[in-house]
Amino acid sequence: MSDTQFRPINNIEGKTVILTGASRGIGAFIARELAKKQATVICISRSQEGLDKICDEINDLGGKGIGINFNISKVERIPELVYEIKQLTGSFDVDILINNAGIEIYRAFHHYSLKDIQLVLSVNLLAAIELSRLVLPQMLDKADGHIINIASLAGKKGSLYDSIYSASKAGLITWADTLKKELANTNVKVSHICPESISEQALFADTEASTTLRAAISIPEKVAIAVCHSIENNGVEIVENGNFLTRNITKLKFAFEEYLPKFGDAANVSMNTNQLSRFSTKSKNKDQNNQDKLVTNETD
């Protein structure tokens, strides 16, 4: 087999990338991986301290980091973000958009407030759609571009006590799939990455969740590598969770739930759901006035 068969189709070096949720969690790992490939990474985050740190890391690794402090949940203000990018870069020539920012509020469905629901849907779904809507025209004009959405396996089959997050990621996957079909006759690619919970930041890392659940936790470095692989090789959907065994167990579980619904119900009961329920209730009662920080996971 010749060396050319292992060469990527697309080169990331010198490309301009917008990365939301860049200052921590999986976003920081993606930023570092892009930096190793000498990309210019426009980092979007609410944390100025985090932006300064990740941009320094990007520059040290051989890329170019540009930080913009912006609250992506303010969807109606995203046109202002686009304007700021134009001002900072002198143009709006974006090669790659990575919609990574996300928030996960983990609790029983009836404990959500409308504010919780609106926040999760705004950050995880609406912001990605709106930013893509504003970036896409210039990609079409130059007949080149790639939009990557960091989704989740929760968006494919739902995650216990995580119904709004699951709904937002399901919407992201379906929207991305539809957009990909619309753009089939163009040279603009659309992909989504579906990790399980991320070990660096995910809720399960700080709970007493069962070994069954923790086994499928994704390693953030591998997710970041999967993102770059998708860019380089025009990947459409990449599922990244745990190892070879847990990936295939996940696929089998999805298949059984699809064709044998009673199996899915039994499996969920067996996955120590009572323990997770107690954690959710305990966390909620502990800090009613502090937005349940113990059960909130953010990457924006």
For 176-235, the pLDDT digits (tens) are 999 999 999 999 999 999 887 554 444 333 333 443 444 345 588 888 999 999 999 887
* Weakest-pLDDT range from 29-33, 57-61, 92-96: 92-96
Bigger pLDDT: 253 vs 289: 253
Give dist(CA 286, CA 48) in Å, integer: 30
**What domains can you pick out in the chain, each with its CATH number?**
3-298 (3.40.50.720)
Reading the block at residue 173, the tokens are: 């996957």
Nearest partner of 159 among 199, 200, 108, judged by Cα: 108
Q: Among residues 112, 161, 165, 259, which one is catalytic?
A: 165
Is residue 69 within 8 A of residue 48, CB to CB? The reply is: yes
Segment 162-176 shows an average pLDDT of: 96
Amino acid at 39: A
Sheet holding 145-150, edge to edge: 64-69, 40-45, 16-20, 96-99, 145-150, 188-195, 237-240
pTM of the predicted structure, to 2 decimals: 0.80
User: How far is residue 103 from each of residues 200, 251, 300, measured CA to CA in Å?
Assistant: 15, 25, 7
Reading the block at residue 54, the tokens are: 């990740």
Amino acid at 4: T
Per-residue model confidence as pLDDT tens digits over 52-87: 999 999 999 999 999 999 999 999 999 999 999 999
Nearest partner of 146 among 194, 179, 101, judged by Cα: 179
Give dist(CA 7, CA 171) in Å, integer: 33
H/E element, 212 = helix 211-214
Nearest partner of 21 among 61, 50, 62, 58, judged by Cα: 50
Nearest partner of 93 among 145, 38, 32, 160, judged by Cα: 145
83 an active-site residue? no
